[in-house]
Amino acid sequence: MPEKENDEGILNEMAEKLRTLESKFDKLEIQTFLSEKYDKNNALLTISSGVGGRDSQDWASMLFRMYNRYCESKEWEITILHESLGEEGGIKSATIEVRGSYAYGYLKNEAGVHRLVRISPFSPTKQRHTSFAALEVLPEIEAKDVEMKTEDLKIDTFRSSGPGGQNVNKRETAIRITHLICFSSVPNGQGPPHQLRNLPNRKSHGRRSGRIY
């Protein structure tokens, strides 16, 4: 009996060591395949519907739900930064911030145009439709990694759009920053109802995404 108990104890100890080694191997495998500069970073994922009207907007919405669920399965934190809904359902565009270990490394290869071919549920004649949606994946970069000189920025103020409120048509409460070197901009900079509070928010968003867009 003592020998049998000792054998079981040794087997249990070996099984525990094997699980520990497998866990370490999995981590090393991830670090090997996701070893580029920004692979460890958080990610910004933008989905935009393409040509195809309601079908493409529905397809973009399907992708949006799919990637949200994937991120949840990885136990990553998700924040919706922007969402533009279609008039008849679906989404025109949406941007989510994904915070988690190696989020950018896992998601970066999803970037590109995604196509769906199906019998359209919105077609009265049940015709086959091809829908497109574009995915853009960017690493979230610390502000210190990106230098933006004030003299390279053009800052415009304008009245914010929306459902209404005390600031609408009374003062200019939105900010647009255009980078004069690459002629890209951070549009619709609406947030806190004051320009001076809004300006740092727009600059910060541009820095974190690694670009001004």
Percentage with pLDDT > 90 across the chain: 38
Q: What is the pLDDT of residues 47-85, one digit of tens each?
A: 999 987 899 999 999 999 999 999 999 999 999 998 999
What topology does CATH give the domain 145-208?
Double Stranded RNA Binding Domain (3.30.160)
SS (H, E, C) the chain: CHHHHHHHHHHHHHHHHHHHHHHHHHHHHHHHHCCCCCCCCCEEEEEEECCCCHHHHHHHHHHHHHHHHHHHHCCCEEEEEEEEECECECEEEEEEEEECCCHHHHHHHHCEEEEEEEECCCCCCCCEEEEEEEEEEEECCCHHHCCCCHHHEEEEEECCCCCCCCCCCCCCCEEEEEECCCCEEEEEECCCCCHHHHHHHHHHHHHHCCCCC
194 pLDDT above the threshold of 80? no
What topology does CATH give the domain 43-140?
Alpha-Beta Plaits (3.30.70)
* pLDDT band at residue 158 using 50, 70 and 90 as cut-offs: low
Domain ranges of the chain: 1-33, 43-140, 145-208
- Listed ranges 10-19, 141-150, 151-160; the one with the highest mean pLDDT: 10-19
The per-residue pLDDT for 212 is 43
Q: What is the mean pLDDT of residues 15-43?
A: 79
Asked if the domains at 43-140 and 145-208 fall in one CATH topology, the answer is no
* pLDDT band at residue 184 using 50, 70 and 90 as cut-offs: low
What's the pTM?
0.61
Q: What is the mean pLDDT of residues 176-195?
A: 56
Position with higher pLDDT, 206 vs 74: 74
